[in-house]
Amino acid sequence: MTRSNSHKLLQDHFRLDIRKNFFTARAPKVWNRLLPEVVQAVTLNTFKRHLDVYPRLKNQVAVMKKKFPDFKPGLAILQVGNRDDSNLYISMKLKAAAEVILRPLAYFFSWVLKCITALNENPAVHGFIVQLPLDSNKPINTEKITNAVAPEKDVDGLSSINAGKLSRGDLGDCFIPCTPKGCMELIRQTGKELTYLLKTNALAEEVSKADILVVAAGKAEMVKGEWIKPGAVVIDCGINYIPDSTKASGKRVVGDVVYSTAKERAGYITPVPGGVGPMTVAMLMQSTVESAQRFLEKFQPGKWSIQYNQLTLKTPVPSDIEISRSYMPKPIGQLAKEIGLISEEVELYGQTKAKVLLSALKRLKDKPDGKYVVVTGITPTPLGEGKSTTTMGLAQALGAHLHQNVFACVRQPSQGPTFGIKGGAAGGGYSQVIPMEEFNLHLTGDIHAITAASNLVAAAIDARIFHELTQTDQALYTRLVPLINGIRQFSDIQIRRLQKLGIRKMEPTTLTEEEMHKFVRLDIDPTTITWQRVLDTNDRFLRSITIGQSPTEKGFSRTAQFDITVASEIMAVLALTDGLEDMRRRLGRMVVASSKTGEPVTTDDLGVTGALTVLMKDAIKPNLMQTLEGTPVFVHAGPFANIAHGNSSVLADKIALKLVGQEGFVVTEAGFGADIGMEKFFNIKCRYSGLQPHVVVLVATVRALKMHGGGPTVSAGVPLPKEYTEENLQLLANGCSNLSKQIQNARIFGIPVVVAVNVFKTDTEAELDLVAQMAKEAGAFNAVKCTHWAEGGKGALALAQAVQRASQAPSHFKFLYNVELPVMDKIRIIAQQIYGADDIELFPEAEQKIILYTKQGFGNLPICMAKTHLSLSHDPERKGVPKGFVLPIRDVRASVGAGFLYPLIGTMSTMPGLPTRPCFYDIDLDPVTEEVNGLF
């Protein structure tokens, strides 16, 4: 076997045994089944009574299990090589506890250290030993290996730290090596006092004086029976092999003492095998149970050991960027460890951000989910409601103040509004994600990956049209299935296309001319192309362009457009996928156009699916950041909240729900108002994820409600009209109709609603009390005042407590509609029940699209309504709760890969433009400090 093959087998074995079996092999049933057998196995026939170690350990485990039913003491053993004596020791340990043994076929130093690191970090492991000696064809630094084991898990007591504690007498805070510990236990069982341990050159003479003799020379049958003092206690620690033709293996195990003659003189003697070995194993089990007990004393199972930042609040509240820079984030690797991630599941991007691998979800798959909370808002106004700030404040309150495991999950903001008119999206005041610059700019490059992938599809579409228009079937076929080393064969993606066409042939030379024609001709109708190029910049002049103007395109030009990157279907795919395999399937079934016969043309037909998956392989991993107070945040995906579903990724939510555990909380944010982001969260995101939410947090402000009550319009840079800064209960009461309607919208789905009223200094107590009263009358579980912008988590403490209580309340989650209903019926249900429309009106183009998509097999997809976010109706000027309107459906489009149809209500721009004075006027880099200035 070559070294490279050995290395591959080692890797395969490592993945199989350590990652799969080890981490799941701690079932208490194994302990219960094995312990009685072990008790019998370690009975020393030459002693007068059974040892009491195992029954005692079994009782201790039972006590731990009674207090913490899901707690499972765990022991791991790492073996390098295949020594006979090591195998014998390990076979004894296999009878004592559930364990996994790494038996590498070839030894590579980095693999052993990686394995040790993984075991050190795994909270399911409380005892961990490296079986010595290390058997390898390369030199090994044994001290370095044993010292790599975490001292608190070093149940063999071999690390320098444990040896040092032992030498200074810290017996309650260290582990004693198991063999000496076992010897002492055996001596204790005899009831005799220890005289001395033998280490001298005058062997026979000194041995004959010993009342207690412990032999660990490593030399077969070195001590003769006639040396033994009559009645002495003999403890033989040796494991040696001598030839024996009567054994199948040709050898047998003996100790360092000639047992056959020594037993005639000794009062007590340990046999080999079966003496010290079982006692050593018993001490190993005892140390492991002790380690588990120490673990429980320091850590509560399921609770993170996490450090929170203490906020120093200032009045007036400084700018967001000033606050962000005044707090030093914890090293992101430290945060990852605090929340239960292991090092091999985290890819660091500097000190403040990291990607979390999907292997974490696989490792935690059997762990129960935490509580799932979605933050949404009333219909947005230019005055702002503060959903992102509330999301962060609530997470900080639950974590830093109520000491609950909590994760916030939010979307990654687009570069377009960051440099355009809106600015950042990290929250604000003392409730934000830090560092804000990293959050709002490139982060880890996910949006750039989506840009590249989207434009690759666009390029593939036009290139395919061009080549089909300029080549014969035979020329196309020759180029699409080229000769490589004299052989012509189909790629995997081409085989999928053949199967889609009903062609079952695998040999390229056997296709008929008709089959060849069907295979090479996508026959795209350019007027049906729905796929656009993208750019993550607001650029109004790309809203409509003409492509193919170069002479090399031979006159094949067409009108096209650019969308902003976050409007790409690939962004929606990223947000809704649950893994790499699912993402590849979704990317492959994206429909980019129709053929001239009306058949859908997909990215799989274009042959680009695999390349898209490669471009997206890192973007699929959620990004880990933190809030000001040190609670974890996943920042992942950022789909448009109008033409897409406007929620962060399913994967981020799923990993977070596993990490927080059954009693923890995941707070995720839905874009725009409850009629858009929340409705899509329930009907699209939850439908695909299979997750059921526990609480809706509905965010409102007195100012915004006054605008819904008929308050005057506001203009940037102009002081607010007095209606918004002075008490006006009637105006506020009128506007609370919008709050009531959004509460009703949430309750349609069967979920309790907690209203968060963001307080401004101009709000009066009477106004705040009125909002709370009307919210409860509308069916809210509770309504609380929040000051988290000015006070951080402390200001959202009442909200967090209300959310905790609401999460325990009865809920009956249900979807708004059955996807099997006709497309028009699903649209009507949303329009009437969520928006309050009297009915819908289908434009001819929309009606034709519904017929086409139903014919193409897409009629059973959920609906993602694309309408203005500024009103419950299609008219952004109609505030409050509009009545008596018919919702116009101008067009219907399909995001088949993402998995929804999106009707267009009115004109929907997918490429924002820059204002007269964009934000970039104020943005610059300090060349000395390298700080970004003017971004917020």
pLDDT at residue number 378: 97
pLDDT at residue number 730: 97
The percentage of the chain sitting over the pLDDT mark of 70, rounded to a whole number, equals 88
pLDDT at residue number 593: 96
Instruction: Tell me how far apart the alpha carbons of residues 427 and 329 are, in angstroms, rounded to a whole number.
Output: 16
Instruction: Tell me how far apart the alpha carbons of residues 81 and 75 are, in angstroms, rounded to a whole number.
Output: 20
Task: Reply yes or no on whether 654 is catalytic.
Answer: no
Mean pLDDT of 71-100: 70
Residue-wise pLDDT for 225-261, tens only, equals 899 999 888 888 787 888 988 888 888 888 889 998 9
Angle formed by the axes of helices 580-588 and 569-576, nearest 10° = 150
E strands in 822-897: 839-842, 886-889, 891-895
Mean pLDDT of 455-484: 96
pLDDT value at 7 more than 50? no
DSSP, collapsed to helix, strand or coil, labels residue 183 as helix
pLDDT at residue number 106: 35
Residue-wise pLDDT for 760-810, tens only, equals 999 999 999 999 999 999 999 999 999 999 999 999 999 999 999 999 999
- Determine which helix (DSSP H) or strand (DSSP E) holds 754, and give its type and residue range: strand 753-758
pLDDT at residue number 193: 47
Domains of the chain and CATH, by start: 27-191+277-298 (3.40.50.10860), 203-274 (3.40.50.720), 320-444+618-808 (3.40.50.300), 450-594 (1.10.8.770), 823-904 (3.10.410.10)
Name the pLDDT band for 9 (thresholds 50, 70, 90): very low
pLDDT value at 935 more than 90? no
- Residue whose token pair is 């120490």: 294
pLDDT at residue number 186: 61
For residue 481, what are its two tokens?
């299935």
Radius of gyration (C-alpha) of the chain in whole angstroms: 35
Name the pLDDT band for 397 (thresholds 50, 70, 90): very high
pLDDT at residue number 277: 67
Instruction: Tell me how far apart the alpha carbons of residues 901 and 823 are, in angstroms, rounded to a whole number.
Output: 9
pTM (predicted TM-score): 0.83
Name the pLDDT band for 14 (thresholds 50, 70, 90): very low
φ and ψ of 215, to 5 deg: -115, 125
For residue 827, what are its two tokens?
């649209």
For residue 171, what are its two tokens?
């017996």
φ and ψ of 626, to 5 deg: -150, 160
Q: What is the 3-state secondary structure (H, E, C) of 346-384?
A: EEECCCCCEEECCHHHHHCCCCCCCEEEEEEECCCCCCC
- Determine which helix (DSSP H) or strand (DSSP E) holds 205, and give its type and residue range: helix 203-207
CB 823 within 8 A of CB 892: yes
Longest C-alpha distance within the chain, in Å?
111
Paired strand residues for 101: 77
Of 58, 72, 93, 826, the active-site residue reads 93
pLDDT value at 297 more than 60? yes
Q: What is the 3-state secondary structure (H, E, C) of 845-895?
A: HHHHHHHHHHHCCCCCCCECCECCCCCCCCCCCCCCCCCCCEEEECEEEEE
Residue-wise pLDDT for 530-586, tens only, equals 999 999 998 999 999 999 999 999 889 999 999 999 999 999 999 999 999 999 999
pLDDT at residue number 211: 83
Task: Please tell me which residue, 870 or 108, carries the higher pLDDT value.
Answer: 870
CB 910 within 8 A of CB 564: yes
